[in-house]
Amino acid sequence: MKIKFILSSIYSYFFNYDIFISYTRSNGKAYARKLYEHLTSLDYTCFIDNKEAPPGGSLDGVLMSALKASKTLVLIGTEIALDRKYVQLEFKEFAKTSRPIIPININNAFTHERLESEPWKIIKERDLIWLDETASAVTNGLPSPEVYEGIQNFYAFTKRNVIRRRWVTVTSLTILITSIFAFFQTMDARAQKKVVLAQTETLKARSDSLQKSNERLIVEQKSLEAKTKEAFENAAKAKEQETLALENAEQAKKQQLLAEERIKIAEAEELAMNANAQLNEDPELSILLAREAVKVTPLPLAIAEDVLRRSLKESHVRTTLRWKKEMVLRGLFSPTGKQVLTISSDTARIWETQTGKAISRHPGTALCLNGGIFSRNGRLIATRNEQGNIDIWEAETGRTVSEIKKDFFERLTYAVFSPDGSLVATGGKETKLWNPLTGKKVLTLQTPNGNTSYLCFSPDNKYLFASYEFIDDGCIWEIASGKVITELKTDNQISGAEFSPDGKFVLTFSNPSLNVKVWNPLTGKLVSVLKGQHDWITSASFSPDSKSVIASSEDGTAKIWNISTGEVIASMLGHTAGVTDALFSHDGKLVVTTSKDGTTCLWEKAGRLITKYHGHGGPVNKAEFSPDDHSIITSSADGTSKIWEVLDEKANILLPTTGSVFNIDFSPDNRFVATADEDNKACVWEIASQKIVSEFIHKGSVKSVEYSANGKILLTTDDNRSGPSSWYIWDVQKNKLLTKGHLNPNGKLALSPDNKGVLIADTALTIIDIATGQQKMQRRISDAIKDISFSPDGKYFVTTSGTTAKLWSSSNGTLVSTLRGNTFNLNDNSYRWNIHARFSSNSRYIITSGTDNTARVWITGSEKPVMVIRGDNGILTDADFSPDNRLIATSDDDGTARIRDLLTSKILVQIKAHKNSIDRVTFSRDGRFIATSSYWDGTTGIWSTSTGSSVEKLNGLIRGKAFAPDGKFIATVGDIAKLTRCESCLTCKELLEIANRRVTRTLTADERKQYLRK
């Protein structure tokens, strides 16, 4: 401790400050800085704080250290500084020791009163002598000479900087003395060295002894190493056993996962079989089970996807509209068919037909449950609100346009738009006509005692039928005059009425008389009484041609009568409970009926049942055809309305060509389709509008059409019987001919993949530049060409003729390889074989098929086939690669199609597609389906490549590309060209989305227990 004190004292003496300057920055900064600079120039070490001290009751560490290290405190005593807390703290802290303090009295700041207060009374107690200074000196920042002199005179000790220089001199002398002392020490060390050498000899002897001991230790160490090695080997064996145990555990885990996967597959297969078993009995349950089967495995099983596709097709449901568990009284299509209206007891809702998306809603209910709820353009709807008035509101927004107000004690019982939408008729104690846009009354028709029970307009807006509660008769009003022109004398209160579409008749039906009466509305004469129902009649309506009437009954039947004869011409017998509604389609070819048994039936007009729709969980109240007859909407007590597909044919597009169609091709963007017509035309049709957008006239029947890869060019050929046949290249965007040329009867053409050239094969192989019409390459040939095809990469083209196929270079026309083995003769019926050569999509392989009952697969550029496929039960007629180049599809003349693995030629799927020979087989664009076509039965089939199950059966043949690029349509030709919408070709994800929209319920607890074992 004494040494530490001495060292600290020495450090303080030589390295601390001479002077600590205490001041306030507010009015003493410049003065203090000038004083600091002057004292420093005189070789004094000074401390001056360059920042304002923080407010508070203590000093920071820097100031405290500087105070302790300073020998003298110089206090710049301005009045402000003497009042500052931190200046007082600096003074008080320094005054704790006996170190000298030099106060500078600025402008007599040390008053008697101040020297009596803390801490300044120390100045008085110690009788400190201060230096006086003027206020102007502080203001100007210039200390007076008296202050400088006073501080210098105050010091009676040596300046620290001088002391430092003396210290350096003393240190140098000390080092010199120490060096002399070290010299003598070195001399003494040499003497000591001799002693050390003697001691070293002694240590060497001891080292030899230690070495012998070390050798013994080495022997012992080797023994220990051997034992350690053995221990390591044992540990390694244990590690191997542990690794083996882990591998066995991993293998067991894999086996467990495999077992679990097999269990899931088995569960999915069982669910798929149960779903398949329910297809006809309960299509909605089939969808629910198929949906579960698809979800069981991470990748849906093909069998599960197939049954989901079949159950959706069988169910016919397009969309389910659900709100809450209350009865839906009616569902109606808007006049445009783009929207549907559903009506419950307290709310009307508008939905988008295509998606089932809710568009708008309006509180209230309808007083008319037929099409009269909508205005003619479908924009306005009439419903009764909670106050009993009639709201006219916008379908798109639900916004009220006008309100038709009833009389105070009146109860409105009916409201219906006129066919032209200009009027709304309401029924209550009076029948009134209103302007729907303003809500103002147009006309009042004085009615008999009793509220109106039914109203309907004639199609020409001239007449209004009205019936009344508790009165058996009905009236025909002339709207222009506001007078009754005829009265219809019925024997019972009228339950419903309707004008015929041609306006010549009006029908009424009454209960319990159980008949339908047809009247002349202008004369009131009874035309016909239609009998045959055995229970209450629930609906009656005319056929579109006004020649027939259909009525439904609680007896479970619907009947159609001929008006002129009164005879029943058809009976619909298919429901197990009362029939609640029956009506004709707009084209009069179909009939729909609904029933309390929860089903809806679609019939031919003759009474043949087409299909029965299952899916509602309660009685079905009403049904209506969409304006295009493609769909039906039903409403049910289960709280839903459903939109059903009417017929698959309704979703198809028939192109109204004037003759047979020989060939068809889709544009790459899916917007257009080109047809090769018998009547000397190639037509381009817009698929959406089904209208011709371009028409290219030829000199003979058009035999082929082909779009270029970019869709801008169309290649066509014709068969001119009175002259040479020709080929044509058309700009389909500008609707003009680019170039043309003559073609031998057996000549062939193909467009290059880069859209720049066309290959013509007749007496020569010629490639013509489309832009210029000039020859890019020509090579003379002697063989009759049967088929030509470009490779997808455009580097090669292949031709077939005689007994060979040949591969050529597209750039210069040189022969690359000759493919021998097939025969390509057409001595037999040409429809029996599809003689061709095709490239795989990656251009790596070529497949050739001919009349020799074989197909051969070649690697592009080689002359030896890597696979030879022979017809199994008949003649092999066609072959095609899958888009992913993994599969090959072949067809035989016994109607069988087979799908093989490209690498192994193993048959993966075998399909009995047709009863007779298949002349064409081709894969869909995504490879999930194949299409087969048979000239003999005139049909095309679509099949799953994974399971071989049937997806679609179509009338017509494949000529050209069967599938649209997006897979949504399948093109077939014959007497007409038809595009079939293939919703069954959707992906599994898309099928699930449709399934989720269609189902109205989930599996019940009992069904989950039965089918899911949960």
Cβ contact 414:454 at 8 Å: yes
Q: Which residue has the higher pLDDT, 822 or 531?
A: 531
CA distances from 19 to 33, 48, 68, 150, 160 (A): 13, 9, 11, 14, 10
Calculate the average pLDDT of the chain. Answer: 84
The pTM is what?
0.56
Cβ contact 897:921 at 8 Å: yes
Question: Which helix H or strand E contains 610, and what residues bound it?
Answer: strand 609-613
- Average pLDDT of the residues in 579-592: 94
Q: Say what the pLDDT of residue 900 is.
A: 93
Cα–Cα distance measured from residue 622 to residue 116, given in angstroms and rounded to the nearest whole number: 111
Q: Say what the pLDDT of residue 324 is.
A: 64
User: What secondary structure, in 3-state letters, does 820-870 show?
Assistant: EEEEECCCCCCCCCCCEEEECCCCCEEEEECCCCEEEEEECCCCCEEEEEE
pLDDT tens string 317-346: 777 887 666 677 888 899 988 999 988 878
- What are the structure tokens assigned to 245, written together? 């145990």
- Average pLDDT of the residues in 946-951: 87
- What are the structure tokens assigned to 710, written together? 């970019």
pLDDT tens string 770-787: 888 888 888 888 777 878
User: 774, exposed or middle or buried, with CB in 10 Å at 0-12, 13-18, 19+?
Assistant: exposed
- What are the structure tokens assigned to 461, written together? 């807006």
Cα angle for residues 448, 451, 455 (degrees, 5° grid): 90
Q: Say what the pLDDT of residue 6 is.
A: 47
Q: Where are the beta strands (DSSP E) in 78-130?
A: 101-106
Q: Say what the pLDDT of residue 504 is.
A: 95
Q: Say what the pLDDT of residue 8 is.
A: 46
CA atoms within a 13 Å half-sphere pointing along the CA-CB vector of 642: 29
Domains of the chain, first to last:
28-104 (no CATH), 227-315+985-1013 (no CATH), 339-981 (2.130.10.10)
Cβ contact 518:539 at 8 Å: no
Cα angle for residues 686, 692, 694 (degrees, 5° grid): 100
Q: Where are the beta strands (DSSP E) in 288-363?
A: 317-322, 330-333, 339-343, 347-352, 358-363
Burial 421-433 (b: 16+ CB within 10 A, else e): bebbbbbbbebbb
Q: Which residues contact 188 (CB under 8 A, 6 or more apart)?
A: none
Q: Using pLDDT thresholds of 50, 70 and 90, give the confidence band for residue 372.
A: low
CA atoms within a 13 Å half-sphere pointing along the CA-CB vector of 787: 22
- Average pLDDT of the residues in 127-137: 85
Percentage of residues in the chain having pLDDT higher than 90? 26
- Average pLDDT of the residues in 72-79: 89
- What are the structure tokens assigned to 134, written together? 């003027």
User: 418, exposed or middle or buried, with CB in 10 Å at 0-12, 13-18, 19+?
Assistant: buried
Helix (H, G, I), strand (E, B) or coil at 635: strand
Q: How many CB atoms lie within 10 A of CB 322?
A: 15
Percentage of residues in the chain having pLDDT higher than 70? 92
Give yes or no for residue 310 having a pLDDT over 70. Answer: yes
Q: Which residue has the higher pLDDT, 53 or 704?
A: 704
pLDDT tens string 620-670: 999 999 998 889 999 988 888 888 888 544 456 777 777 788 889 999 998
pLDDT tens string 517-571: 999 999 999 999 999 999 999 999 999 999 999 999 999 999 999 999 999 999 9
Give yes or no for residue 881 having a pLDDT over 50. Answer: yes
DSSP 985: G
Give yes or no for residue 594 having a pLDDT over 50. Answer: yes
Q: Say what the pLDDT of residue 841 is.
A: 92
- Average pLDDT of the residues in 593-600: 94
pLDDT tens string 277-286: 887 667 778 8
Question: Which helix H or strand E contains 527, and what residues bound it?
Answer: strand 526-530
DSSP 374: B
Helix (H, G, I), strand (E, B) or coil at 221: helix
Give yes or no for residue 767 having a pLDDT over 60. Answer: yes
pLDDT tens string 6-26: 444 444 455 578 899 988 888
CA distances from 329 to 222, 369, 426, 553, 623 (A): 101, 8, 20, 18, 10
